[in-house]
Amino acid sequence: MRSQATYYGANGWLLEIDGLRVLVDPWLCGSLVFPPGSWFLKGVLPHPFPIPSQLDLLLLTQGLPDHAHPETLKELPKSLPVVGSESAGRVTKRLGFETITQLRPGECKEFKGLKIRATAGAAVPNIENGYLLFWSTGSLYLEPHGVLDPEIESRKVDTLITPTVDLGLPLLGAFITGATVMPDLVNRFQPQTILASTTGGDVEFSGAISHILKAEGTTAAPEEIPKTCSLITPQVGKPIPLPKGSN
């Protein structure tokens, strides 16, 4: 069975791996409002997406609304198992999800043959999660802010889902560091495929700080990507085959 990934924009993905359908950090409907309110920062999707059918797992890297989007999560069946960071676990518990596994960096969970290892992700302000996923025909690393856990050993990972730019605020610096981390990611994991994430999907932002968000970096320089690796900027809603490899 072919493994594939479908991008929904922002941080959202549907992973179809080893017969499982895993929904990652979905924002599929409604607006996105960051505390303290829409006057500060509000995001609007160009169009809503239908909730994917026959889901097996909800995987959340963070508890912030651009990863654990409350309006989207309310539309999901509450019987859907959840694996997430501690903050994501608190959000899904409040929303009534029945089976929740909270992972700290370094902890692992096996779900129907899928091995999930949490890694240290962004500090926003508490440390959130990235994930290493291993299944019978492949492996994948994802982290939405461009943070690489120094505790992860060097090993072969077939696919990376990561931002490929640095994004930040003047004076406060970058809070997404995908361009900066790219050389280390490539050296650490020697991937076959890199899927650009986090900043795509044509989301429209408004609010007090929307005009000062700025891209500080660009897609990783070609010389940073080995010739054996494909760097893909995904089209929203179009499935991308994942390479086969070892887990």
CB neighbour list of residue 119: distance below 8 Å, 6 or more residues apart: 105, 106, 129, 130, 131, 132, 141, 143, 149, 151, 152
CA–CA dist 42, 173 (Å, integer): 20
Closest CA to 65 of 39, 30, 97, 103: 30
CB neighbour list of residue 139: distance below 8 Å, 6 or more residues apart: 132, 133, 156, 157, 158, 159, 245, 246, 247
CA–CA dist 111, 83 (Å, integer): 10
Whether 179 and 146 have beta carbons less than 8 Å apart is answered as: yes
- For residue 217, the model assigns a pLDDT of 46
Give the strand pairing for 57-60 and 20-24: parallel
Both tokens of 159, joined, read: 């696919």
- For residue 47, the model assigns a pLDDT of 85
How does pLDDT run across 172-223, given as a tens digit for each residue? 566 788 889 999 999 999 999 999 998 777 777 777 666 655 444 445 555 6
> Is this structure's pTM higher than 0.85?
yes
Q: Which helix (H) or strand (E) holds 20?
A: strand 20-24
CB atoms near residue 191 (< 10 Å): 26
CA–CA dist 247, 244 (Å, integer): 9
Average confidence (pLDDT) over 157-184: 82
How does pLDDT run across 111-138, given as a tens digit for each residue? 999 999 999 999 988 999 999 999 999 9
Report DSSP state, residue 15: E
Whether the predicted pLDDT of 41 surpasses 90:
no
DSSP 110-178: EETTEEEEEEEEEESSSEEEEEEEEETTEEEEE-TT----TTSPP---SEEEE--SEEEETTTEEEEEH
Q: How confident is the model at residue 39 (pLDDT cuts 50, 70, 90)?
A: confident
Whether the predicted pLDDT of 171 surpasses 60:
no
Asked whether the CA dihedral 40, 27, 18, 83 is positive or negative, the reply is: positive
Nearest 5 degrees, angle CA 102-CA 131-CA 82?
A: 35
Whether 148 and 181 have beta carbons less than 8 Å apart is answered as: yes
CA–CA dist 69, 67 (Å, integer): 6
CA–CA dist 92, 201 (Å, integer): 25
